[in-house]
Amino acid sequence: MKGNVIVGQSGGPTAVINSSLAGVYRTAIDRGAKKVYGMRYGIQGLLDEQYLDLSKHIKNDLDVEILKRTPSAFLGTCRYKLPDIHENQEIYVRLFEILEKLNIECFIYIGGNDSMDTIKKLSDYAILTGKKQKFVGVPKTIDNDLALTDHTPGFGSAAKYIATSTKEVIRDGLGFSYKKKQVTIIEIMGRNAGWLTGASALSRGEDCDGPDLIYLPEIAFDIEKFMARVRKLLEKKDVVVVAVSEGIRTADGKYVSELSATIDYVDAFGHKQLTGTASYLANLVSQDIGCKARSVEFSTLQRSAAHLASRVDVNEAFMVGGAAVKAADEGDTGKMVVIDRVSDDPYQSATGIYDVHKIANDEKLVPREWITKDGTYVTEEFIDYVWPLIQGDYPCVMVGGIPRHLYMSTGAPRGRRGNKEERERETGDYLQ
């Protein structure tokens, strides 16, 4: 490689998106890149010329390892969709000026569907205008809803967190069950795709029954049938645990979370906020059945719990990052690296590469045949598919009892002591 590499992160963070960043960095250096730049906050930041020299932040091999264990997007992400080329050519001109100024040869973008759209548009523009830069995408999303790749980096770690936490929540409930019926509703991320919610089934094993019911957004949710199921289960057992996707909808397309009056606002990205599905259902159970009912939301932890990352996932994320640089360096453009499952047992995977034009915003949902006929659980095929992806640990480097992360130095002194703000607080002068 004669020129430089630039890499960005986009969309929702995951526990291993920085492992992909580390893979990009490592392979770029190994292949002779002069400089590896990082876009701050993805393409949106780059348009404002917000970028940095990664070697200033990843100073040695230990930093690479810490980066692989750091959740969320080290470079920061954005949710920014490039306009179509014919709509606003000026923005492309500006971007390519920046790329040329930085002598960029390979442009790597780590993200979900929207990011692959960015790769497509930029590579199309480069080909149309005779630019030399190569554009390759690296898949990333906890939701596992990208087409063509067997699964997405980020999904395995989220699934491992969900399976483990579901098991711990089930056990927590069992401790309390004497002469008391109790229902726990666990709410799991996934607006349209039920991969994460289905992963709660992996808590099942010799030492745990797993959830009693699992409701994915792929199947219309029937509140009356749900209540009847819970009632029936409570006749047989004292502790009932239900996993629901935040995105479950009734047959008329209404989100269950919308049925509750409390949560009716739209977030900064224009998405309707989907919280409250589990608490709505728990209230319903408590009122109608009269037993104790509680809700648990795994919330943002399911995408940022690097302390429980899957080794398979961390390694694959690193691998796809490196493969993207290799592909771009060898002349590929307008492509996304994918993960191919080479073998199920023993599990083996390898990278492949696909034309991003073929990927184009398809959401990969859980196939109907991987959901039980009655729509309240996932099948063994689903479990067999997810199982290899949660295997193995990637232990954190613990400092002071908690995981160490790689951070961007701001120059300001930080740490347990000597913080000026803190001293001001203690003297009562703070912010007065």
Site for a second copy in 292-351 (CB under 8 A): 292, 294-297, 299-301, 303-308, 310
The count of residues interacting with a second copy (CB under 8 A) is 106
Assess 57 for contact with a second copy (CB under 8 A): no
Minimum distance from residue 247 beta carbon to a second copy (Å): 17
Assess 416 for contact with a second copy (CB under 8 A): yes
Q: Among 177, 343, 348, 361, which residue interacts with a second copy (rule: CB under 8 A)?
A: 177
Helix ranges restricted to H, 102-222: 113-129, 155-174, 195-198
Cα separation values, 8 from 82, 124, 360, 405, 418, Å: 14, 19, 19, 19, 34
For residue 240, list its beta bridge partners: 183
Q: Which is nearer to a second copy, 206 or 252 (CB)?
A: 206
Assess 49 for contact with a second copy (CB under 8 A): no
Q: Are 195 and 156 in contact (CB under 8 A)?
A: no
Task: Give the integer Cα–Cα distance in Å for 221 and 244.
Answer: 10
Q: Which is nearer to a second copy, 63 or 355 (CB)?
A: 63
Residue 143 falls in the annotated catalytic set? yes
Q: Which is nearer to a second copy, 330 or 384 (CB)?
A: 384
Assess 98 for contact with a second copy (CB under 8 A): no
Contacts of 80 by beta carbon, 8 Å cutoff, 6+ apart: 10, 42, 43, 44, 114
Bridge pairing between strands 51-53 and 36-39: antiparallel
Question: Hunting for tokens 């906050």 — which residue is that?
Answer: 41
Minimum distance from residue 246 beta carbon to a second copy (Å): 13
**Dihedral angle computed from the Cα positions of residues 396, 397, 403 and 405, in that order, rounded to the nearest 10 degrees:** -100
Minimum distance from residue 182 beta carbon to a second copy (Å): 8
Give ∠ CA 319-310-165 in degrees, rounded to 5: 155
Minimum distance from residue 93 beta carbon to a second copy (Å): 22
Assess 103 for contact with a second copy (CB under 8 A): no
Which entry of 143, 145, 212, 313 is annotated as an active-site residue? 143
Contacts of 419 by beta carbon, 8 Å cutoff, 6+ apart: 413
- Order of strands across the sheet with 292-297? 213-215, 239-245, 182-188, 292-297
Query: What count of other Cβ atoms lies within 10 Å of the Cβ of residue 89?
Result: 13
**267-296 footprint of a second copy as x/- string (CB under 8 A):** xx------x---x---x--x----xx-xxx
Q: Which window, 251-259, 316-324, 329-337, 368-376, contacts a second copy (CB under 8 A)?
A: 368-376
Q: Which is nearer to a second copy, 1 or 339 (CB)?
A: 339
Q: Among 88, 89, 129, 262, which residue interacts with a second copy (rule: CB under 8 A)?
A: 262
Task: Give the integer Cα–Cα distance in Å for 380 and 377.
Answer: 10
Q: Which is nearer to a second copy, 175 or 253 (CB)?
A: 175
Q: Among 56, 358, 368, 414, which residue interacts with a second copy (rule: CB under 8 A)?
A: 414
Minimum distance from residue 92 beta carbon to a second copy (Å): 20
Active-site annotation, residues: 143
